[in-house]
Each structure stands twice: as C-alpha cells, then as structure tokens.
Amino acid sequence: MTTNKSGPTVQTGVPDRDALLELLNQAYDGWGTTELLQWKYDEYPEFDPEAHCFYIECDGDLAAYRRVFEKRIVTPDGTVPLYILGDTAVNPSYQGQGLYSRLHAVTTGEYNDAGVISTFNRVGNITYNANLDRGWEYRTLPLRLRILDYSTVIAQYATNVVSSDSTTYAGLEAIDRYVNVRTPSGDSIALTERGATRNRFAYGLPIPVPARLLDRCVEIASTPKPEEAVVDMIRDTVRFGSSTAEIQYQRGTAYRVELLTDSDEAPVDELVALCRSEQPSFRRDAADIEHLLRYPDADAVLIYRDDQLTGFAVVGPKSEPLTIEGRVLEFQATDESSESLLIDAIESVGLQRGYDTLVATAPIEHDRWLTVERQVHMWDPETFTNGAAPAIRMAHLGMYDTL
C-alpha cells in the first residue's frame, strides 16, 4: 500500500532489509544485528508488515522509516489496545525535508481510532520534546541498573555530563593517561571513551575510589540535569560511605534455581500464570512468552519452591559503544525469597556472560541496584478509550515491552 495524499509517498511493508538495518544502526548508534531484526519483526507476535511498517524512499534510497508495535494492557475489566511508535529514523542525507512529520501524520492517522498511540522516549531528546509540544502525557519509568564491571561503564556515561570536546573532558583524559583509578575490589576505571580504548596505565599511580561513589556518579550522569545532582551525590556519599548491604533471604531446601537451556522446554502455561496480575499489566500470553524466550542469546532463570514456579527472569545482551548491557527482559517473583534468589541468579548470569551492566524496568529494590530516571512512556491523551487512562498510567511492564 502507498499513501500520497499530501507530501512524499509513504509505503507500507518491510523495505530492503540491509538498507533498513543500516539506517537503524546509524540512527540508534548500534541498534542491533540481523538476528535481532528477525526476532523483533518476523518472529514478533501478530506481526503484519503491511500494517506495522511505514517507509519513504527518495532517489532509490531508504530515506525514512517507522515501525508500529501492537501491545495490549490487560486489566480486570478487559484490555486496552496500544500502538507504540518505534524504530523511527530519517536518513541524515534527507533530514530537514519534512519526512519525519510526514511519517508521523500517516502512522498516527492510521491508528488514531484503533487505540492509544504511545511511544517510549528518553527525557530531553527531540521526540520527547516534540511530543510534549503536541500535548502528550507521560510517566517516568525508573530503570534499575546494576554495574557488574566498572572498567568502562564510567566512560560510557561521562559524556552525559561533559562534552567530549570540553576542557573538563580533556582533564579526565589526562587522568586516564597518568592515574590508575580503581575500585576497592581492584577494578581499573576509564573516565573517558578514548581512555577506555588506550593503554591507560603506563604510570599506574593507584587511587582507590569507593564503589558507592562510582554508583552515584552513574546515577547523576543518567539524570536529565546532572549538574544539579552533584551536591546530593557528595552529601549521600558522606552519609553512607562505601558500604553496601548484603542480600538477605530465607535459604532453604524448598527453593531451587534452574537455568532454562532450551526455550522449547519452557513451562509456558506456568509462566503465563505466573505473569498474570490483578493490576493492569502488559499482556503475557503464550505467544508473548515464547517470543520473549527467543530473544537472541538470552538466558532464562526459573525459581521453584516445593516444585511450584515462584520466579522467572529473562536476560539478553545489547551491545553499546563501550559496554555490553544485559537487558532484564522479564522479572517476576511471588515472594521476597524468590525475588532475592532471582536477583542473585541474574547477577551470576551477567558475570558469566561478561556483561558490564544489567538493566531492568522491574522494581528491583536493592542497594546494589541504582535507579536511573530518564526513560518515559508517552501517549496521546486524545486517543484514550474508556478505561485507558488509569490503565496506562499504572500498568506493570518489563524491558521486553520497551524494545
């Protein structure tokens, strides 16, 4: 199908896959692989290329693209349909020609009467600001972050605070060159992106830095206005020092932890029942669970108590410019002991896999896990149907729902 009522022609369907993958990786600084594309598109539940993919070609090039993801929020009173705008990109060679506005008008017009139109954004980016101007509403999704390897994570977040061409950044580079900054456990830390890729410790003057201070630095670098949080960081570091609380849970023979090695052997019906909730939550039916488990190179952890499933988590890799992020796609636990065991298990998986961080949207409340408040769920209130407003504002969701 093509649309050309006013402006550039918008076509539907999946465009040339090589061109699409190149555009997405360019727009999102390492969007992913062909395996991720297949998982996110071909294997996605109820995927319909003609209904969910929109693009514009100019002079034979893929100039602009958008994907619409159909989701459902399940409530005690029924379901709320959501149409999430994602994977939106405009080729730099064709920016400034109104292609984004054209795509937005066509895609929102297509689903305007079908359900709630929404998107996931980071605070302060162009789309976030544009949606605010349109009158969209939002809720903050506090990401939970667990740092497993400090050696490059600090550098990954440094440019959130200072520009890479600033005098301050040059000072951090000098520290990288001449000083061996370490955590108490002995991890060497790079403060800049360039420092993370060179032989930094020729002189090796060791300076230990408390892990809690480094955690607070990452939290600050992840806030919309990091400069305003420095005083709080100093105050909290002085108040709490560098100690961290140990996980406490009831260990007993009744609990066991299993690593699911074959997704085809997953107890899908039990997992669907475990994810079922009395509060509004993003749908988890059998097709969703099966798709979630097929995330490329993902690991699934199951917790049992007296042979009853009480915990479930899925962790999969996402490569960033300097680090490998472990995405906690799903995290469900029925009691505190199962939750503590599950936290231990996914941290162990992350360390074995060589992940630098673990990231989750689940409410993991633990001293080792930081809170980062930059991700938001935004929606157009004019597309609300009956019962949609309270459901979308409080719905439980996992990292899986934001991809």
Amino acid 259: pLDDT: 93
Which residues sit opposite 327 in a β-bridge? 316, 359
Amino acid 98: pLDDT: 94
Domain count, the chain: 3
Amino acid 25: pLDDT: 95
Q: Which domain holds residue 260?
A: 255-366
Amino acid 374: pLDDT: 82
Amino acid 243: pLDDT: 29
Q: CB atoms < 10 A from the CB of 331, how many?
A: 24
Amino acid 254: pLDDT: 82
Of residues 228, 221, 182, 176, the one with CA closest to residue 202: 176
What is the pTM for the complete model shown? Answer: 0.80
Is there a domain that residue 353 lies in?
A: yes
Is there a domain that residue 284 lies in?
A: yes
Is there a domain that residue 325 lies in?
A: yes
Spans of the chain below 50 pLDDT? 199-203, 227-253
Q: Is the same domain home to 157 and 66?
A: no
Distance CA 350, CA 299 (A): 9
User: Of 91, 112, 136, which residue constitutes the final position of a domain?
Assistant: 136
Amino acid 248: pLDDT: 38
Q: Is 284 exposed, middle or buried (0-12, 13-18, 19+ CB in 10 A)?
A: buried
Q: Is the same domain home to 111 and 18?
A: yes
CA 245 to each of CA 241, 364, 371, 392: distance values in angstroms, whole numbers, following the listed order:
12, 14, 16, 34
Q: Is the same domain home to 105 and 170?
A: no
Q: Is the same domain home to 197 and 104?
A: no
Contact between 76 and 278 (Cβ < 8 Å): yes
Q: At 397, is the secondary structure helix, strand, or coil?
A: coil
| CATH classification at residue 317 | 3.40.630.30
Q: Is the same domain home to 11 and 127?
A: yes
Of residues 339, 277, 349, the one with CA closest to residue 305: 339
Distance CA 282, CA 196 (A): 39
